[in-house]
Amino acid sequence: MTPTAQERLDSPALLESADPGGMLRQVKSSADQLCIAAQTAAEVDLSQIPSRIHPRAIVVTGMGGSGVAGEVLSVVCGPGSATQVVALHDYQLPGWVGVPDLVIAVSCSGATEETLSSAREAVRRGCPLIGVGSAGSPLALLAEQAGAPFVPVKSTGNPRSTFWGLSVPLLVIAERLGVAEIPGAAELEATAVELERISQLCRPDSESVVNPAKTLALELAGKLPMIWSTSPLTSVAAARFATQLHENADYPAMPGMLPEVYDGQAGVFEGPFARRPASDAAVRDREDPSPSVPLHLVILRDSQERPRVTHIRKAFTELAEQRGIGVTDLMANGETTLQRLASLIQLIDYASVYLGIAIGIDPSQATVISELKERIA
């Protein structure tokens, strides 16, 4: 007899056999990743970076699980930073990037062609360059040839589960260069504690009734998730959640940020994936008013959201519930930007792996991606 989704998650034997690549262990390593990355970045020689002026901008170039490091640096620096932070996911640097700007190339493997291309262009333009990635890689060699600093990163096994190992070096570098008020050692340690707290709540031997990540995974199974954020910080988490669902569970998801989404995504509340109110004539004329793949709204909330956004969020929650759309409300926890981000990222990383397992997907496999890379090589 085929086990149910909940049985897959609550049986230790089924859970272990469904995760041959050890993705749950990789997610659990987050706190260790953070501490190791912070220490490694603190020891890197940055004397090659010109100290006569602060960079006009920091351009972080990277793709996929590596590229998210740029968004993390941007949201932690915040709008008050005098140095603009730009996350780039492309082969080519913007035309305005030049000598006054610092380029940080991030690639877990150190062999990502788009990242290498933009890093080479940075060298040609005379931009200060810093590399972050695997030791002994093409990116490490490029940094060495250019006389640029390089931060070695040890992958946990997959770029998408090396979030903290790739993101934290950028925060430490920015602080050492005096670019912005970036978390110091005490805050990084507090963030590691928060990651461990979430890991304890979401551990594999914790049953779904008390495990927030397993509960979230079961809420999403068989649904089409809309993941809405309420601030720039939770927007990073929303995009991360959608990407992790794509990669760990082969699952579609639609991220968006309030208030912008009410001019676009809100239209699906009236479409075939939502139940309409019972008073709607279109519902009464159908034999089965329930959509085959119903929507589920996940709202990632931030304690720093604007009052107007809070008002809009509440209105959308009411509209969703009136249409039979399930709503999950997740609140960021912590006193600082990095702690709040960590509280969400760790939970959704666990949830994406659990969802893959619940629906019978090996969360470590990437068959389509591997096939695509072979075709375009």
Strand order in the sheet with 224-229: 254-257, 224-229, 295-301, 326-331
143 with 149: CB under 8 angstroms?
Answer: yes
- 121 and 214 fall within a common domain: no
- Is 373 within a domain? no
In the chain, the number of structural domains is 2
- 261 and 170 fall within a common domain: no
- 254 and 178 fall within a common domain: no
Q: Where are the alpha helices (DSSP H) in 155-295?
A: 163-176, 185-201, 212-220, 232-249, 281-284
For tokens 């990095």, the residue is: 338
* DSSP-based three-state secondary structure for 132: strand
- 154 and 87 fall within a common domain: yes
- Residues ≥6 apart with Cβ < 8 Å to 178: 54
Look at residue 283 in the predicted model and tell me its pLDDT.
47
Last residue of a domain, one of 148, 182, 216: 182
- Is 5 within a domain? no
- Is 7 within a domain? no
- 283 and 358 fall within a common domain: yes
In the beta sheet, which residues pair with residue 85? 58
- Is 190 within a domain? no
- 134 and 221 fall within a common domain: no
Last residue of a domain, one of 150, 182, 214: 182
User: What does the pLDDT look like over 224-250, one tens digit per residue?
Assistant: 999 999 999 999 999 999 999 999 999
Which domain does 123 fall in, by range? 24-182
Q: Looking at this protein, which amino acid is placed at residue 227?
A: I
pLDDT tens, residue order, the chain (377 aa) = 788 999 999 999 999 999 999 999 999 999 999 999 999 999 999 988 876 567 889 999 999 889 999 999 999 988 888 889 999 999 999 999 999 999 999 999 999 999 999 999 999 999 999 999 999 999 999 999 999 999 999 887 788 899 999 999 999 999 988 887 777 888 899 999 999 999 999 999 999 999 999 999 999 999 999 999 999 999 999 999 999 999 999 999 999 999 888 777 777 877 777 765 555 544 444 455 566 778 999 999 998 889 999 998 999 899 888 888 999 999 999 989 999 999 999 999 999 999 999 999 999 887 666 676 667 66
d(Cα 215, Cα 201) in Å, to the nearest integer?
A: 11
- 35 and 127 fall within a common domain: yes
User: What does the pLDDT look like over 320-340, one tens digit per residue?
Assistant: 888 889 999 999 999 899 999
Return the closest-CA partner of residue 115 out of 83, 142, 80. 142
d(Cα 84, Cα 78) in Å, to the nearest integer?
A: 9
In the beta sheet, which residues pair with residue 157? none
41 with 151: CB under 8 angstroms?
Answer: yes
- 178 and 265 fall within a common domain: no
- Is 375 within a domain? no
- Is 188 within a domain? no
d(Cα 296, Cα 320) in Å, to the nearest integer?
A: 9
- Is 64 within a domain? yes
156 with 162: CB under 8 angstroms?
Answer: yes
- Residues ≥6 apart with Cβ < 8 Å to 150: 44, 130, 131, 132, 133, 139, 140, 143, 144
- 213 and 69 fall within a common domain: no
- 116 and 255 fall within a common domain: no
- 255 and 157 fall within a common domain: no
Burial class (CB in 10 A: 0-12, 13-18, 19+), 373: exposed
Q: Looking at this protein, which amino acid is placed at residue 266?
A: A
- Residues ≥6 apart with Cβ < 8 Å to 254: 224, 225, 226, 227, 242, 265
- Is 315 within a domain? yes
Sign of the CA dihedral with 334 first, then 336, 340, and 346 last: negative
d(Cα 94, Cα 88) in Å, to the nearest integer?
A: 9
Look at residue 267 in the predicted model and tell me its pLDDT.
76
- 152 and 214 fall within a common domain: no
In the beta sheet, which residues pair with residue 356? none
DSSP character for 255?
E
Please report, for residues 23, 115, 212, 314, the alpha-carbon distance to residue 320 in angstroms, rounded to integers and kept in the order given. 33, 41, 22, 10
317 with 327: CB under 8 angstroms?
Answer: yes
Vertex 89: Cα angle to 296 and 230 (nearest 5): 35
CATH code, domain carrying 157: 3.40.50.10490
Last residue of a domain, one of 119, 147, 182: 182
